[in-house]
Structure 1
Amino acid sequence: MFDTLSTTDLFLRIFGLYCLATGLGAVVQPDYFERLMRELQASQMHRLTAGFMAFLVGVTILSVHRYDVGWTGVLVAVIGWMALIKGLVFLSFPKGLVWAASRIETRSSLLRFAGLAVMVIGAGLFWLGYNG
């Protein structure tokens, strides 16, 4: 009834569900994500909060996760490093982030395609969390 859950499996399941939900949101409501990008560009507090949260997620993963447990462990560690670096960029270079974000095309069709891609990645991560 109860399986032994490693931190690798736990993080893969969490990332998988997060990607599935975010991707579905981008597919169903791309206009919401367009507004979200505009608000992130306009608000220093949103950028600070997003940077802090990404930094916190990255530090937490890298602190509690052992990544010497196979390729899925390395995958989780890479995701942790990506979150940490994203957080540092948000916190350290907010003007550069706004500049880069202003050049990203946010058409609904592009957001829907990106949402589908994120959903596929999420399904893969979630599956790995149970079968990896």
Structure 2
Amino acid sequence: MVADTVCVIFGIYALAAGLGMVIEPGRATRVLDEFDTSPALAYVTGAFMFFLGAAVLALVDDFATVTRGITTVLAAGMIIESLLMLAWPKPIFALARWMVPEDDHVRGFGLVTMAFGLVIAVLGIV
């Protein structure tokens, strides 16, 4: 039940985030710029992500079903990313900038993110 709900919530988030990248691709660069210029923003985001990922992982930490496996991987990924954001955020932002060098790439990642979100949400509903 928890894993299904997490998949639906994460799927809806990915759909909205992907749609934002498709509609306004320049915003991705501005968001990365804000993280670069505000260590406090990166730290607070990392701390929030850590506790949220850890809470989800405390509730779902196995691969008994597809949604439980997806939730486990998502939560573990959140924990790893959040710890990097707390300790050493520059490589994460450098990777993000490398992945989206221009608006067409951002739109492409947006479409992929939307597709991923749709699949995750549907798996959580079914």
TM-score by length of 1: 0.86
* Correspondence for 1:3: none
Deviation of 1:86 (Å): 0.4
The structure 2 residue matched to 1:94, chosen from 68, 89, 94, is 89
**Aligned AA for 1:27?**
V
* Correspondence for 2:75: 80
Structure 1: runs of 5+ lacking an equivalent:
1-5
1:42 paired to 2:37: yes
CA distance in 2, matches of 1:93, 1:61: 23
**Aligned AA for 1:58?**
G
* Correspondence for 1:25: 20
Bigger CA drift: 90-99 or 8-17?
Answer: 90-99
The structure 1 residue matched to 2:52, chosen from 44, 57, 61, is 57
1:125 paired to 2:120: yes
Bigger CA drift: 111-120 or 90-99?
Answer: 90-99
Deviation of 1:60 (Å): 1.1
Q: Is the 8 A contact 1:27 1:115 kept in 2?
A: yes
TM-score by length of 2: 0.90
CA distance in 2, matches of 1:15, 1:99: 24
**Aligned pairs, how many?**
126
Deviation of 1:74 (Å): 1.2
Two-structure CA RMSD over aligned residues (Å): 1.7
Q: Identity percentage over the alignment?
A: 27
Bigger CA drift: 66-75 or 79-88?
Answer: 66-75
Deviation of 1:69 (Å): 3.0
**Aligned AA for 1:93?**
W
Deviation of 1:127 (Å): 0.3
CA distance in 1, matches of 2:89, 2:68: 31
* Correspondence for 1:70: 65
**Quick one: structure 1 residues 22 and 95, their matched pair in 2 at CA, closer, same or farther if it must change by over 3 Å?**
closer
Q: Is the 8 A contact 1:20 1:123 kept in 2?
A: yes
* Correspondence for 1:8: 3
